Amino acid sequence: MQFSAGSRSALRAVAGLVMAAVYLPLLLVILNSFNATTSGSFPITDFTTRWWTAAWNNEGAREAIATSVRVAAAATLISLVLGTLVAFALSRYSFFGKSTVNLLVVLPIALPGIVTGVALSNTFKTVLDPLGIGLGMFSIIVGHATFCIVMVFNNVQARLPRMNRNLEEAAMDMGATSWQTFWQVTFPGFRSALVAGGLLAFALSFDEIVVTTFTAPPGTETLPIWIFNNMARPNQAPVVNVIAAVLILVSMIPVYLSQRLTGDDRRGD
Amino acid sequence: MSEDRGAKKLRRTMLPLAVLAASALALTGCSGGTDAAAGGGGITVPDIPAATEVGDGEGEVNIVAWAGFVEDGTTNPDADWVSAFEEQTGCMVNRKVGATSDEMVQLMRTGEYDVVSASGDASLRLIAGGDVQPINTDLVPNFGNLVEGLKGQIYDTLNGKSYGVPIGRGANVLMYNTDLVPEAPDSWAATWEPDSEYAGKIMAYDSPIFIADAALYLMATQPDLGITNPYALDETQLDAAVELLEQQNGIAGEYWNDALKAVSSISSGTAALGTGWQVIVNLAQNDGGPVEAVLPKEGATGWSDTWMIHAEAKNQNCAYQWIDYASSPEVNAAIAQNFGMAPANTLACEGSEANIAHCETFHATDEEYYKNVWMWTTPVEECLDGRTDVTCTNYQQWTEAWTRVKG
Amino acid sequence: MNRQAVITPPSVRSAASDGPAARRSGALSRWLYSRPRVRLGALLVLPLAWLGVLYIGSLLLLFATAFWRVDTFTSKVQPAFTLDNFVRLATEPAYQATALRTIGISLAVTLLCAAVALPLGLYMAKVASRRVRTLLAIGIALPLWAGYLVKVYSWRISFTTGGPLDWLLRPFGLDAPGYGTGALVVTLAYLWFPFMAVPVYSALRQIPENLFEASSDLGGRSWATVRHVALPLLKPALIAGSIFTFSLSLGDYIAAQFVGGKTQVIGTVIASNINLNPPLAAAFSMVPLAVVVLYLLAARRSGALKHF
């Protein structure tokens, strides 16, 4: 490379600093889950494992995790379908208003969550509620799916142009139907992009709070809402740290998976 | 809405309009009060009959409550008073935690819920909207043991009927970090005056209702303004309060809106002094924080809540059973101690060391203490202090004013 | 390795089994195959129904609410045309100050993210060994999964008086900034950093090595190369990343509650009015909406949306 030794060390130092800044706060969360005080005061003088026991026995947290998993799974499923459809439409066809459709897909994530949340909650309350579809699990899923579509769309759209379309032509020539061609030739070609997009969509949904705040019926708690509610409750806040620490550790699995699927090593550099 | 989640709930009082005019003024010894508003203060109240007897339970009861009021052990295994109730009565409890008073009102209007733990602004709207029914206090045997201060305030004069059963109350005290403020302050002045030696280290409560705290200070320091009730401000008085708040904005370090944030700020010394709750002081002290609190000479604002029953409750019998159960000394003590407030039932202050200590800390039966506490009430256009020659500012105007204060 | 190579034609042949169902679907697929417009329509009908009708419809409805009034006592929205809400926003300096402050914060967050993402991306793409690069790539992505509130709360602890930041900075004779706008910018930049770092890094990876070499052959010093060769090529990635960092910061109000001290942002005002005065909240929502749509339109002209 062309960088001088000095520049290289400078860059290395910056990278080191950035990583330290990224991980120290997370480390603090994990440490804090062993902090004996309820308000998480610093420096930590007394260590305890009782919050871990309390978290383990916390039914509310378990229910919230279950709700979050259900919501995220449903939202991911919807966004997988819709995102793939748009990606195909935009990368294989040229039509009037193409860039508008592109903008439309990006809009839900680009608009502040509070606008999306307020708009959807408004629709559910004023238009859909009289039709019998009020705020509920369904409205949370709708809200999440809306901004998750773009995640799947991005990944699939990035992959499609790199795929060899001759294979599809060949399959059709050999008598396969469009359906068969899609599932046996096209689909395997972008499957990894789909999984990566799905993982991101799942993560986004699992962590969403603002849109959820406005679209969730009172009483239904996703994990972020549960965390938010319990952070303010003095005897519960330390339990939140435990849940957070567990989340940080568990999150390594999907990150590892998506890295394997989308990481640049795949391109074999 | 975010500011109102969890235990730090925005607690506006449940005091109905007319009570405030008639009895709160009397309580605080303000001679300027009239009973002009008694009888409804211009608010028409739908005539809904109260129950005459409590029959067999319907098998379930749906409750909208603040976090920590209806606990079945799922959040915290040590807090469970719902299971015993379900066993005793056969009424299964379905709880929804309400996030804000507005949300609670909306939920009650759906008709899905039988009972609500209403705060002041919610209760007033619910009563006027015909959403809740008067309570036949004979059917709530534990009602008789309520502390005097709350009893006097809760018997509202809207049609001479009572609509709620008190749960508890608390004051917004002046807390201070003893490392930074060695001598106990006796006045709110240090939190308001621009030459405060604690400038930059003052914490204030983040809600439009905090305007009342400014009005309270003005009541003591600028009598010319003629404020006799911090929740009844005409436009001039509101402007004066806003001016004081803007002045405070210059010296404030932080606006807090949940108890835990307040604990960390006041314990660590990020804040030196400011508005707080007794429960915050206790939590800070438990963690070894150098924190104390006083009720300054100007008095303070405060909050309290009540149980109310929906006008067309599907499970009215279970609802009455719940309210009586929750008002019993043991359960009322459990709720009050779990939440960190003074219980409404006097007997909740007896029976155990813990109960006595809790009531001592929270001044539960100390009416002298609460004499100087103005319970949060949502401001409405009809002046709560009985004035009829002016229109007072309503809560929406307060919300706008609060936005202005924060800039 | 090339994944397409795994797909073998024989599996296709065997799957193309005969049977009435297969023949019918065969007929349908042939019909579709000859009609690209119909296929396009079939692809777009669901997504457009969702995004175009449900989502855009909701936004329009929100816009309509902004022209309605509210019953001051019950907070019920009444459909009666009024411009009051907009007049109020235009005449009350606090709303304008809040909007401008929020936009300023979002820009600061975006610049901070870009300023940190560039050297990190350069290091990863052009200096680090493959192993370190993979580790760093995982390292950047991991916090995305760690929980928004958890991270915000951890920054709240970090900024406490006597907290970790004070503790770290004290040896250098510095004090950590307390809660306030500065703390808010740092926290938001931390939250949205991966959204900037990932596209910048991938774009740097994609710049052909020989472009750098050509530049240095021509006598360009390494930093000059970065400025004149890499930066222009990075523009789309920077814009794509900034869409996230900018708009996510614009709508956030929870971080402001935790570390903002007394900082009021657009989201705070919307959230405090949403139940009490929905029309005013709707009217104020138009501010971030307009800002982001303008930003997106500008970004589209630069072609950055394709690199999302």
pLDDT band at B17 (very low <50, low <70, confident <90, very high): very low
**Among B197-201, B219-223, B379-383, C289-293, the least confident range:** B379-383
pLDDT tens column, C130-145: 888 888 888 887 887 7
Instruction: Name all domains of chain C by residue range, CATH numbers in brackets.
Output: 18-65 (no CATH), 85-307 (1.10.3720.10)
Nearest CA to B7 out of B95, B72, B99, B79 is that of B99
Report helix angle A237-250 to A5-32, nearest 10: 130
C-alpha span between A210 and A233 (Å, rounded):
20
Q: Which residue has the higher pLDDT, B330 or C62?
A: B330
For residue B82, the distance in angstroms to the closest alpha carbon of chain C comes to 30
Q: Contact B260/A237, CB-based, under 8 Å?
A: yes
Q: Helices (DSSP H) in chain A: which residue ranges? A: 5-32, 50-56, 59-92, 98-110, 113-123, 137-159, 165-173, 178-181, 187-207, 210-215, 223-231, 237-250, 252-262
Q: Domain B172-300+384-406: which topology?
A: D-Maltodextrin-Binding Protein; domain 2 (3.40.190)
Closest CB to A232: pick one of B6, B75, B267.
B6
Burial class of residue B368, CB neighbours in 10 A (0-12, 13-18, 19+) = exposed
In chain B, which residues fall in CATH 3.40.190.10? 2-169+302-375, 172-300+384-406
**Lowest-pLDDT range, A218-227, C10-19, C280-289?**
C10-19
For B301, the 3-state DSSP assignment is: strand
Best of B3, B5, B96 to substitute, by most chain A Cβ atoms within 10 angstroms, is B5
pLDDT score, position B213: 94
Q: Which pLDDT tens digit goes with each residue over A130-140? A: 676 767 788 89
Residues A157, A153: Cα–Cα separation, whole Å: 6
Interface of A with C in 85-114 (CB under 8 A): 85-86, 88-89, 93, 95, 99, 101-114
**B83 and A CB contact within 8 Å:** no
Tell me how many residue pairs between chain B and chain C have CB atoms under 8 A apart. 90
For position C97, what pLDDT does the model report? 92
Q: Which residue type occupies B398?
A: W
Segment A112-126 mean pLDDT: 81
Q: Do B278 and B90 contact (CB within 8 A), yes or no?
A: no
- Secondary structure of residue B373 in the 3-state scheme: strand
Checking if the pLDDT of C170 tops 80, the result is no
Q: How confident is the model at residue B382 (pLDDT cuts 50, 70, 90)?
A: confident
Cα separation, A123 vs C80, in Å, equals 18
At residue B58, φ and ψ (nearest 5 deg) are: -85, -5
Span A98-109, average pLDDT? 83
- Please tell me the number of Cα atoms within 13 Å of B231 on its side-chain side: 31
Q: Does C78 touch chain B (CB under 8 A)?
A: no
A44 touches chain B (CB under 8 A): no
Instruction: Enumerate the residues of chain B whose CB falls inside 8 A of the CB of residue C157.
Output: 264
Averaged pLDDT for residues A184-198: 81
Query: Mean pLDDT: which of A186-190, C25-29, C254-258 is highest?
Result: C254-258
Q: What is the pLDDT of residue B114?
A: 93
Residues of C in contact with B394 (CB under 8 A): 72-73
Handedness of CA A19, A22, A26, A28 (dihedral sign): positive
For B111, the 3-state DSSP assignment is coil
**Gap from B19 CA to chain A (nearest CA, Å):** 31
Q: What does the alpha-carbon distance between residue B102 and residue B123 come to, in Å, rounded to a whole number?
A: 10
Q: What is the pLDDT of residue C307?
A: 47
Confidence label for B35 from pLDDT (cuts 50, 70 and 90): very low
Taking the CB of residue C29, how many other CB atoms lie within 10 A of it? Answer: 19
Q: Which of C282, C65, C55 is nearest to A120 (CA)?
A: C55
H/E element holding C189? helix C181-206
- Lowest mean pLDDT of A159-163, B197-201, B274-278, name the range: A159-163
The domain A59-267 is placed in CATH, from the list 3.40.50.10860, 3.40.50.300, 1.10.3720.10, 1.20.120.1200, at 1.10.3720.10
* Min Cα–Cα distance to chain B from A29, Å: 15
A226-254 pLDDT tens trace: 888 777 666 677 788 888 888 888 877 77
> What band does B158 get if pLDDT is binned at 50, 70 and 90?
low
In angstroms, rounded to a whole number, what is the distance separating the alpha carbons of residues B72 and B47?
35
CB C92 within 8 A of CB C84: no
How many angstroms separate the CA atoms of C32 and C18, rounded?
A: 19
Subunits adjacent to chain B (3 or more Cβ pairs under 8 Å):
A, C
Task: Provide the CB-side half-sphere exposure for B245 (13 A, CA).
Answer: 29
- Choose the weakest-confidence range: B59-63, C163-167, C239-243: C163-167
Our CA angle for A9, A12, A16, nearest 5°, is: 140
Copy the structure tokens of residue A62: 């378990």
Mutation choice for A interface testing from C50, C202, C292, C296 by most A CBs within 10 A: C50
CB B233 within 8 A of CB B215: yes
Contact C273, C284 (CB under 8 A): yes
Q: Residue B132: beta bridge partners?
A: B310
Per DSSP, helices labelled H in B222-291 are 235-251, 259-268, 278-286
**Are C130 and A167 within 8 A, CB to CB?**
no
**Chain B contact for C74 (CB, 8 A cutoff):** yes
CB-based contact, B76 to chain A, within 8 Å: yes
Of A181-190, B97-106, B229-238, C56-65, the range with the highest mean pLDDT is B229-238
Residue B274: beta bridge partners?
B175, B203
pLDDT band at A51 (very low <50, low <70, confident <90, very high): confident
Q: How confident is the model over B217-273, as pLDDT tens digits?
A: 999 999 999 999 898 999 999 999 999 999 999 899 888 877 777 888 898 888 999
Token pair, residue B358, equals 């809790």
Nearest in space to C126 (alpha carbons), one of A20, A255, A4? A4
Question: In the predicted model, what is the mean pLDDT of chain C?
Answer: 79
Q: What is the number of other CB atoms lying within 10 angstroms of the CB of residue C217?
A: 10
Tens digits of residue pLDDT in C183-235: 999 999 999 998 888 888 888 887 777 776 666 666 666 677 777 777 777 88
Is the CB of C257 inside 8 Å of chain B's CB atoms? yes
Q: Give the three-state DSSP class for C69.
A: strand
For C271-286, what is the mean pLDDT?
A: 83
- What mean pLDDT do residues A23-45 have? 78
Share of chain B above pLDDT 90, in %: 34
Contact C253 A164 (CB under 8 A): no
Neighbours of chain A (3+ CB pairs under 8 A): B, C
Domain spans of chain A?
A: 59-267
In B, minimum Cα distance to C255 occurs at B2
- Cβ of C243 within 8 Å of Cβ of A185? The answer is no
- In chain B, the residue whose alpha carbon lies closest to the alpha carbon of C258 is B261
A58 at interface of B, judged by CB pairs closer than 8 A: yes
State the pLDDT at residue B257.
77
* Cα dihedral across residues B205, B206, B212, B214: positive or negative: positive
Q: Do C161 and B103 touch (CB under 8 A)?
A: no
Centre a 10 Å sphere on the Cβ of residue B236 and count the other Cβ atoms it contains.
13
pLDDT attached to residue A218? 61
Where does the pLDDT of residue C21 fall: very low under 50, low under 70, confident under 90, or very high at 90 and above? low
Q: Which helix (H) or strand (E) holds A160?
A: none
| Token pair in block for residue A3 | 């960088």
What pLDDT sits at residue C4?
A: 37
Q: What is the mean pLDDT of chain B?
A: 81
**pTM for the predicted model, two decimal places:** 0.79
User: Which range among A58-67, B50-59, B115-124, B155-164 shows the weakest confidence by mean pLDDT?
Assistant: B155-164
CA distance A119 to chain C (A): 5
CA distance A252 to chain B (A): 27
B116 compared with C240, residue with greater pLDDT: B116
CATH code linked to domain B2-169+302-375: 3.40.190.10
Q: For C67-120, how does the pLDDT look when each residue is reduced to its tens digit (9 = 90+)?
A: 888 776 666 677 778 888 888 888 888 899 999 999 999 999 999 999 999 889
